[in-house]
A = this chain, B = another copy of it.
């Protein structure tokens, strides 16, 4: 079998199902970590990897890679995804007025939140996407995620896993040195990723078990111009043809500063929706991060001329969740 092309020009734009299927078959990791596996490519992170990653902490600097969680976010209701609604059940105004009924001058504030798990910076869990009714590791989708949640690969299984070496690939800056921003609809290729690595130098070499962060610059543009269609509209992102690279590099996870990680509109003339997701989540078992804020990190890395760091990004262990809001931190 010929390996699927890594050149977007070779894609048959009339046949998303064929192009997806070829890559799903070529890069499928089912069974690689046993029949009971619930972690997929996160298995590439081992103890030595983490010790090595910790050794990258030289400046003692922490950069949060999270967007904020509030009603000013980009969500507009697609798939019932709203921005977070945070409300107070007690406040300082109440405490100061003395209506809380507590003794000896103590007062308190308390709060609640209601939010989609993928409203802002997040990990996609392995139960988030299916391929022809099949979930990660070859399980039937309906056996994995019911109305009770993800009974098999819920995000809680990754609670003590996602700490590893992080590598920033600032593709936006490499390809568009003046603006640092890729245009919406730009499909990042394997060649682009490799050219960025080459340009940034050896600290951005990508190795097994890494968590790769690809900056497109779209978030910076949205900050400047308003959200517009950031949540689901046209965006720069990875080409379907990068599936090969995502597979052969044996990275543990990948994240971008866009809503959907892959390029939009998708690279087909026929109706298509997130074909790279369909290849990499259920077939490779790849954990994907979306809506990360990589702008401050990009500035710090450029300043230090160093693109590697310790990345700590444990999800909230929400039982049965197919995703989790997170505040990933790069520790340099």
**Could you tell me which A residues sit within 8 Å of B by CB distance?**
16-17, 20, 46-51, 54-55, 57-64, 66-72, 77, 79-99, 102-118, 127-133, 135, 140-150, 156, 159-161, 163, 270-275, 277-278, 310, 312, 314-323, 325-327, 329, 331
A79: chain B residues at CB < 8 Å are 89-90, 110
A16 → chain B closest CB, angstroms: 5
* C-alpha spacing A83/B321, complex, angstroms: 15
Q: Is the CB of B80 within 8 A of A146?
A: no
A110: chain B residues at CB < 8 Å are 79-81, 116-118, 128, 322-323
* C-alpha spacing A143/B88, complex, angstroms: 15
* C-alpha spacing A294/B117, complex, angstroms: 26
Number of copies: 4
Q: 8 other contacts beyond A72-B319, A163-B329, with CB at 8 A cut-off?
A: A63-B160, A68-B319, A95-B141, A99-B146, A102-B273, A108-B130, A109-B127, A113-B321
Most central of A48, A57, A93, A150 by chain B CB within 10 Å: A93
CB-nearest residue of chain B to A312:
B312
* C-alpha spacing A90/B79, complex, angstroms: 9
Q: Is the CB of A64 within 8 A of B111?
A: no
CB-nearest residue of chain B to A130:
B107
A72: chain B residues at CB < 8 Å are 77, 319
A130-B87 contact given A68-B156, A110-B81, CB 8 Å threshold: no
A87-B64 contact given A16-B103, A17-B105, A327-B314, CB 8 Å threshold: no
